[in-house]
Amino acid sequence: MRSGASWIYLSLVFLALLAGVLWMGRTKMASVAEAGRGPIPAPAVDEHVSAPATETAVFAGGCFWGVQSVFQRVKGVTATTAGYSGGTKETANYRDVSAHRTQHAEAVKIVYDPSKVSYGTLLRVFFSVVHDPTQLNRQGNDIGESYRSAIFLSTPEQQKVAAAYIAQLDEAHTFPKKIVTQLVPLEAFYDGEDYHQDYAEKNPHNPYIQVCDVPKIAGLKQQFPELFQEYERK
C-alpha cells in the first residue's frame, strides 16, 4: 500500500495520518511513556560476548522502513537490510508480501558488534521505540500478518535472552497488554527490493515517513542518547 500508492493518494490520506500522530505515538511507547518513566527496563538476562567480531539479529515490527531507520542509528550496528522472513524464497517479494499472500513478515537483518551493543540492548530498543509489541498482526494503520511482531532467532542464546526478556516485561506489566511478539527460529532471510533499502533516508518528505518513522528516531535519541548516532547513507 505504501510505495505502491500514488503520491496523490498519499497526499489525500496525509491529514488522516496526521490526525493519528498522537495515537501512533501512544502505540510506540505504550504505558511507559504515559507513566513518564523513560525507557523500559534493561534485560536481566543478556548474551555472553563471544569471539566473533559480528553477529546478526532479525526483527519484524511493522513496516520495515521504520525498523531499519531506527537500528541504523544504534551505536554498534554495522549494517542493516530490509527484507522478508518467515516464508519461502518464491514469495519473498513486495507484491506478494504486501498482499498478505505469504507467511513472510517485513523484517530487518541487523549486523552488529556484540562488544559495543548486546543482543539484549537491541531487544530493549526494539520493544521501546521501534514498535508496539502488544498489537497482533498490525502496527497502527498497517494491518496484516506481514506487519506482525516477531523475533527470528539465529542461536539458542538468542532464544534464551528473548524469551527471558518478554517474560520479564510481562511480569512487570511494562505494557498495558500482554506482549504478542512471536519467537521463531530463523530459517532464511531474503533481501528486499533495492528501492526499500534506506527508504526513510531517500524519502524524508514522504508523509508516511514523517508521521510514522520520524517519531521513532526521535524516541531513540530521547530515550537512549548513549546509543544514538547520526546515520550517513553510503
Q: Is residue 230 part of a domain?
A: no
Distance between CA atoms of residues 97 and 234, nearest Å: 27
Domain that holds residue 60: 7-223
Are 61 and 135 in contact, with CB atoms under 8 Å apart?
A: no
In a domain, 32, yes or no: yes
E strands within the chain? 55-61, 77-85, 105-112, 138-139, 142-143, 149-153, 182-185, 189-191
Asked if residues 20 and 211 have their Cβ atoms less than 8 Å apart, the reply is yes
Q: Is residue 169 part of a domain?
A: yes
Instruction: Give the active site residues.
Output: 63
2 lies in some domain: no
Quote the number of domains for the chain: 1
* Closest alpha carbon to 219 in 33, 18, 23, 8: 33
3-class secondary-structure state, position 5: coil
Residue 51 has what pLDDT?
62
Extract the C-alpha cell encoding 136: 497482533
- Quote the pLDDT of residue 116: 93
Does a structural domain hold residue 234?
Answer: no
Q: Is residue 121 part of a domain?
A: yes
In a domain, 228, yes or no: no
The domain spanning residue 75 has which CATH number?
3.30.1060.10
Q: In the prediction, which pLDDT does 15 show? A: 40
What are the pLDDT tens digits along the chain (234 aa)? Answer: 455 544 343 444 444 444 444 334 434 433 333 333 468 999 999 988 766 689 999 999 999 999 999 999 999 999 999 999 999 999 999 999 999 989 999 999 999 999 999 999 999 999 999 999 999 999 999 999 999 999 999 999 999 999 999 999 999 999 999 999 999 999 999 999 999 999 999 999 999 999 999 999 999 999 999 999 999 876
